[in-house]
Structure 1
Amino acid sequence: MTFIQKILHRPFFIKLLHWEYWSFHAVYTPIYLYWLWLCIKARSFFFFNTSNPTIKNGGFLMESKKDIYDIIPQEYYPKTIFINANTNKAKILSLVNEAALKFPLIGKPDIGMRGLSVKKLETIDDIIDYAQNSKVDFLLQEFIPFEQEVGIFYYRYPNETHGHISGIVGKEFLTVTGDGISNMETLLSKDKRFILQLPALQKAYGDTLQKVLKRNEDFLLVPYGNHARGAKFIDLSHLADEQLTSMIDEVCKNVDGFYFGRMDVRYNTWEELKQGKNFGIVELNGAGSEPTHIYDPKHSIFFAWKEIIRHWRILWKISRINHHKQNMPYMNFSSGIRMFKENSAYVKMISTE
């Protein structure tokens, strides 16, 4: 590796030269004026709360995942239980046994964001350890066994009978492939995407990263499709044909009061997904959803800004219709400021777990 290549493989330059790794504010600040214009048109800084009437704050921030699962038909998502923070070991084991949960499980904060504190749990000891380290209420959810995952962005105007898919993102999980010579840590240090995750992977796997994989042998490092945890996002929006749109529309119309957001789905095959077979909803996100297909490395920051603005306008229009046609009040200013403060404090709690 040349001197220039070594420089370009340093985390600072990887983030600087690839906008997909920029901070949230670095991406969004240049287009905040458009958001302000929508606020002025709505005569509210927090108009988004009316976008999804049955979800707290419209699903923008501080919404409970459990409350969202409660409005999704049970056949669409895996078995899930809610655990209060500081619940004792005996009670947790009782709840797990009562629900007859099957390993592996996923532990995640009830109010979560960007994959923070999400962990795969293989044993009872893993559950107890996760609970002891959690400062917040959390969910235990059976792991959906299907290998493929996509995020499907859906919206439906309240005065229309059919909804639309505005973006699809495919997710390549963080996986290292062996060459029969180098250990996993060496292989990881050669790939820019892996380099950014290396400190977390070293903490999670320790000496396991010294293992030499056979040639073409794959080792799954992060089993969920979160961009902040190293997954590569691929824009598959071109796959939103009539059959898939009809199926997703039917699912989403069965979620009471849901008009705008992204649904993360694990599935077996694409054809089965289009037919509504062999899939499970990992999460459903509301007004705070990003059109994550923008993070495909092939897209420029200008494409991203265009897509974000397009989705903001849809959000504004849906919120406006619910506000006027259903006489739903917008969130007042003090409540909106309190929401942001609560979110900031909450992020600090789950970021340190």
Structure 2
Amino acid sequence: MNLRLTWHKITHWEYWPYQVVYTPVYFQYLYYAFRTRSFFYFNASNPTIKNGGFFMESKKEIYDLIPQQYYPKTILINKETSLDEIINIIKENNINFPFIAKPDTGLRGTAVKKIDTKETLLSYTKKANFNFLIQEFIPFTNEIGLFYVKLPNQTKGKITGIVSKEFLILKGNGKESIKELLLKDPRYEFQLEVLHKEYGDKLNQILSENESINLVPYGNHCRGTKFIDFSHFITPKLEETFTNICNQINGFHYGRMDIMFDSFEKLENGKNFQIVEINGAISEPTHIYDPNHSLWYGWKELTRHFHYLYKISKYNKKQGATYLSFKEGISEFKKHIQFYNTILKF
């Protein structure tokens, strides 16, 4: 990495390793572990989701909790399934190209890919040494992450933050290649190696003036998406709408919903949107990664949300939910590490 990018990483905390960013949360976690007498108390936060959604949860199992009208058609594909079988499954379910393929157990956007052709699908299946999902491509252009919290003893939840996602979209000037345009922005230059593997010589293509191209059509920070704090769009009507939606998702109390939608006005009224996915106890309040926010602001929001996680888990435990035992938790953590090492090879 060149000196310019190294300096950019140092001076922009959104790129710092999470082990550093989460420093105050570690002490908070140890305090709550002492209070609950459990290192894995968060397992009780969302009782119907494996491990509360902290690690090794199946996305497909979470989708099955959501009423069908709120998310795109999604199919689980076993890693042993042949390409011909997958093609037949796609046809039977009326899913057309393009669609999204992603691991059933996710890891910060790793191995999420837009599949345009049979050739692209073949390439994906050859590399995917894990069960994965095929999901209809969502037609809406706007995407947010909406963090929702509801204490189990309350009838109304609240939205604690909204992040908007600015995709890696380039606009041409008729003179410079895609690669040259990428080099103008450190956020995009960080992605150059990955994009070169995916697009190859296409990066040398010169876009005509005002021609746009979306190189990463899914909103992951680690894939070049810029996160912008849109929490000012939280309204009583929006909270009412999502309380109604989340009340239909059995056992969901804490997490971030990634949503694609048409407009905020329609979203407020529960129209023209689809839930891309729901993340549980492992969720981050990703609005903190807005470049305009300080590290101090990020720490405040992280500790605030971690307190919600503790309160919800503790209450659910009183209502009969269980904490993972230390032995069970360590076993799950080992599985997570093994899967982490597998998916990073994709």
TM over 0.5: yes
Correspondence for 1:131 among 121, 125, 144: 125
| SS of the residue 1:9 aligns to | helix
Question: What CA distance in whole angstroms lies between the structure 2 residues aligned with 1:215 and 1:124?
Answer: 31
Correspondence for 2:345 among 338, 343, 352: 352
Do 1:86 and 1:132's aligned partners in 2 also have CA atoms closer than 8 Å?
A: no
Question: What CA distance in whole angstroms lies between the structure 2 residues aligned with 1:202 and 1:125?
Answer: 18
Correspondence for 1:327 among 316, 320, 324: 320
CA deviation profile, 1:323-342 (whole Å, cap 9, x unmatched): 01x12221111111112111
Question: What CA distance in whole angstroms lies between the structure 1 residues aligned with 2:24 and 2:252?
Answer: 29
| SS of the residue 2:145 aligns to | strand
CA RMSD of aligned residues (A): 1.3
Question: What CA distance in whole angstroms lies between the structure 2 residues aligned with 1:8 and 1:215?
Answer: 31
Which AA in structure 2 matches 1:306? K
Q: Which moved more, 1:257-266 or 1:338-347?
A: 338-347
CA deviation profile, 1:110-164 (whole Å, cap 9, x unmatched): 0012000000001223222211210000000001110000000001000000000
Which AA in structure 1 matches 2:36? A
Unpaired segments of 5 or more residues in structure 2? Answer: none
CA distance 1:216–1:158, shift in 2 (3 Å): same
Question: What CA distance in whole angstroms lies between the structure 1 residues aligned with 2:214 and 2:85?
Answer: 32
Question: What CA distance in whole angstroms lies between the structure 1 residues aligned with 2:301 and 2:64?
Answer: 30
Q: Give TM-score scaled by structure 2 length.
A: 0.97
Shift of 1:213: 1.5
Question: What CA distance in whole angstroms lies between the structure 1 residues aligned with 2:181 and 2:322?
Answer: 54
Shift of 1:239: 0.9
Which AA in structure 2 matches 1:303? Y
Do 2:25 and 2:306's aligned partners in 1 also have CA atoms closer than 8 Å?
A: no
Q: What is aligned with 1:9?
A: 4
Q: What is aligned with 2:71?
A: 77
Question: What CA distance in whole angstroms lies between the structure 2 residues aligned with 1:30 and 1:70?
Answer: 35
Q: Map residues 47-58 of structure 1 onto 2, 5 A cutoff.
A: 47-58=41-52
Q: What is aligned with 2:191?
A: 197
1:117 aligns with 2:114: no
Do 1:153 and 1:167's aligned partners in 2 also have CA atoms closer than 8 Å?
A: yes
Shift of 1:184: 1.3
1:34 aligns with 2:28: yes
Q: How many residues align?
A: 346
Correspondence for 2:308 among 308, 311, 314: 314
Percent of pairs with identical residues: 49
Do 2:70 and 2:273's aligned partners in 1 also have CA atoms closer than 8 Å?
A: yes
Unpaired segments of 5 or more residues in structure 1? Answer: 1-5
Question: What CA distance in whole angstroms lies between the structure 1 residues aligned with 2:174 and 2:123?
Answer: 35
Do 2:255 and 2:279's aligned partners in 1 also have CA atoms closer than 8 Å?
A: yes
Q: What is aligned with 1:206?
A: 200
| SS of the residue 1:152 aligns to | strand
| SS of the residue 2:255 aligns to | strand
